[in-house]
Chain A
Amino acid sequence: MAHLRRWPAWALVAAYPVYASLGPSRAALHLDHFEQPGEKRFISIPTEAGVTDDLLLDVQGLKVEFPTLRGTIHALQGVTFQLHRRETLGLAGETGCGKSVTALAILRLISPPGRISQGRILFEGRDLLAASEAEMRGLRGSQISMILQEPRMALNPVIRVGEQVAETLLVHNRTLSRRAAKDRAVEMLATLGIPDPQQMARRHPHELSGGMAQRVMIAMMLVTRPKLLIADEPTSALDVTIQAQILELIKALKREINTAVLLITHDLGVMAETCDRVAVMYAGIVVEQGSVKTVLKRPRHPYTQGLLRTIPNDMPPDQPLFSIRGQVPSLLQPPTGCAFAPRCDRAMPECAQTVPPRYALEPDHHVACFLYRGGTANRHDAKSAR
């Protein structure tokens, strides 16, 4: 939880220009790819098989605060998004916009004094914020799992990796023998394409490469076949070739065990290749949500539009790179209206006054911006908006 304690630092880091967070993008975004029919590398659009209307996770107006000496940090200011069974939803946004906090809030692992102050998290129709701690422990790891950013930091250095994978099973099944759990752990490692899994299971984490460690981590989180996998920047700490392998692996496993994935990333290239739908976050709010094709091809929110313009795609060599002017607002005193208004070229007077509700442009394309008032406002969101 160290990264939460460093929240004030995050706020500073977040002041970086937008393109800084896009710098490590491993592939410039080629939107043309979406036009090519039968291009297998890119994941289905929402109408294709595999994506249903079956709602798995429904986050509504989620607010999270961290009291600090300098005041309360409003890390999430009403996050709303939906995730369906078996789909991959990308949660995109720059550093410090609240992606990881959202993930931890879903697992109810925000460490005190941080707290969820408002909102609802419905998992299969059940409100997780009303569940008891014991119920949450039952869900974590068995129904909802999460891959952490730094694979090597996420493995206990003094415990053999096979035992760490087996531990997940043992946590959730008290009748399972240690022997049987280890056998299943080795099987899982084999499924992840790890050579000589028997031998690998006996190693300690320091004997693994970063890519291998991430595979072990994934094995640990998926061995129970959860319904929802949260992947918090699973590839940020890995080099480019391993990144591609791990993403392929997550995609393949997702098909194999029918899990839904919430992929947190600041890398739009990764997102375009992996996700069915996207939610774009800015300063603790989801500003735009829709299918990956719609959002990347026809972004509507001025922030999303700016974000996509920052990608150095087919740029002449001596052109200056585009960046969104201004800085991310302080989460200590968030602006009263739309958080993006101070940086927005199309801001209107009312943008500084009230927080825009979510407007539905299409059945599956929501934008929190007054420019789209013509669309039908989602009543629930309008009510819960700050």
Chain B
Amino acid sequence: MITESAPPALDLTEARRRRAEARWRYLEDTYVLWRRNRLMVLGTAIILGLILIAALAPLLATHNPYEQILNDRLFGPSATHCFGTDSLGRDIFSRVVYGARVTLTIALLVAAISTPLGMLIGIVAGYLGGVLDEILMRLADVFLAFPRLILAIAFAAALGPGVENAIIAIAIAHWPSYARLARAETLNVKNNDYIQAMRVLGAGKARIMAGHILPLTLSSIIVRMSLDMGTIILTAAGLGFLGLGAQPPMPEWGLMVSDGRQFLVDQWWVSTLPGLAILVVVMGFNLLGDGIRDVLDPRQRQA
């Protein structure tokens, strides 16, 4: 219609090609940044390894993790039982392998519960403000006032032992930090012109929050979540250790560490090997989380 006001025609195929090229370059840069960060490579390897082990547990396990061979109790690491056996004669290696499934499930479920909850509360508090903001944030303050593990213990104790209740308890202990973060991001963007533009267009509050503010808070929430994974796993193991999380005979790492406590001096492998599994995975998540934060930082790309 208004051709005279259009800028000079571009070669469209050329423009498209350049755009595709630019996208490819972005991916390439991401790869270079990833490679350059050795610790992140290590973290990625650990987490990929964890996922693989969890997926292939039946193939990797040498024994049934629940089978008790009472004659073979507390055997040290050997050719048949490479991590040894526990006080009930179960193969520790197989239990650690199956434990990867438990750990991963707990971590993902906690993230799936606490992140949306925290974002919902944070965005609503930040955008609507006023009394509602005060109430929600003071509530978050109450939760943040306690160490997370203590809070999780309290909720797990109140809900009763069991891995499902442990998941709920950990999620309850974790939402306030996401709520705080989402609220901060919301306050940061809510006065921007593009939010005002949505109001000018007649968009309602719910639409603005869900469609226009939520996507802007997502990236920092993701970074925070990947950094929190380690803490979540540690809390879950802690609850298992204290008997408030996973219950026997579930092959949960924290529970296994607890089982081996009384044999720590003479049969060190019962506690130590599942403990090392916790250490490695938590470290893996932390390294990966740190790395993700760095890779998403546009300033890193200028070098």
| A residues whose Cβ falls under 8 Å from a Cβ of B | 1-2, 5, 107, 109, 136-142, 145-146, 148-150, 153-159, 167-168, 171-172, 191-196, 199, 211, 217, 220-221, 245-246, 248-249, 252-253, 256
Which residues of A lie under 8 Å from residue B1 when comparing CB positions?
191, 193, 252, 256
Contact of A193 among B6, B191, B204 (CB under 8 A): B6
Nearest CB in chain A: distance from B195 CB, A: 8
A140 and B200 within 8 A (CB): yes
In the bound complex, how far is the Cα of B194 from the Cα of A154, in angstroms?
4
Does B303 sit within 8 A of A, measured CB to CB?
Answer: no
| B residues whose Cβ falls under 8 Å from a Cβ of A | 1-7, 9-10, 12, 15-16, 19, 191-204, 207, 211-212, 215-216
Which residues of B lie under 8 Å from residue A154 when comparing CB positions?
193-194, 196-197
Which A residue sits closest to B191, measured CB to CB? A2
B201 and A220 within 8 A (CB): yes
A248 and B200 within 8 A (CB): no
Contact of A249 among B5, B9, B215, B216 (CB under 8 A): B5
Given A167-B201, A199-B16: A252 touches B194 (CB 8 Å cut-off)? no
Given A196-B12, A252-B1: A171 touches B194 (CB 8 Å cut-off)? no
Nearest CB in chain B: distance from A40 CB, A: 13
B191 and A199 within 8 A (CB): no
In the bound complex, how far is the Cα of B199 from the Cα of A171, in angstroms?
10
Which residues of A lie under 8 Å from residue B19 when comparing CB positions?
199
A220 and B4 within 8 A (CB): no
Nearest CB in chain A: distance from B192 CB, A: 7
Contact of B202 among A139, A199, A245 (CB under 8 A): A139
Which residues of A lie under 8 Å from residue B7 when comparing CB positions?
195, 211, 245
Nearest CB in chain B: distance from A156 CB, A: 4
Which residues of A lie under 8 Å from residue B196 when comparing CB positions?
1, 109, 148, 154
Q: Which of A107, A149, A195: most chain B CB closer than 10 A?
A: A195
In the bound complex, how far is the Cα of B199 from the Cα of A191, in angstroms?
24
In the bound complex, how far is the Cα of B204 from the Cα of A195, in angstroms?
32
Q: A109-B200, A137-B202, A248-B5 are in contact. List 4 more A-B contacts (CB 8 A).
A: A107-B200, A109-B196, A195-B6, A248-B4
A1 and B212 within 8 A (CB): no
Which residues of B lie under 8 Å from residue A252 when comparing CB positions?
1-2, 5
Nearest CB in chain B: distance from A154 CB, A: 4
Which residues of B lie under 8 Å from residue A158 when comparing CB positions?
215-216
Nearest CB in chain A: distance from B237 CB, A: 36
Contact of B197 among A138, A220, A246, A249 (CB under 8 A): A220
Q: Which of B200, B212, B216: most chain A CB closer than 10 A?
A: B200
A155 and B3 within 8 A (CB): no
Given A195-B6, A199-B12, A252-B1: A142 touches B193 (CB 8 Å cut-off)? no
Contact of A168 among B201, B204, B211, B215 (CB under 8 A): B201
Contact of B12 among A142, A195, A217 (CB under 8 A): A195
In the bound complex, how far is the Cα of B213 from the Cα of A159, in angstroms?
10
Nearest CB in chain A: distance from B297 CB, A: 16
Q: Which of B3, B6, B196: most chain A CB closer than 10 A?
A: B196
Closest 3 CB pairs of A and B: A141-B201, A140-B202, A141-B202
Which residues of B lie under 8 Å from residue A138 when comparing CB positions?
202
Which residues of B lie under 8 Å from residue A142 when comparing CB positions?
202
In the bound complex, how far is the Cα of B197 from the Cα of A153, in angstroms?
9
Which B residue sits closest to A203, measured CB to CB? B19
A167 and B203 within 8 A (CB): yes
In the bound complex, how far is the Cα of B200 from the Cα of A136, in angstroms?
10
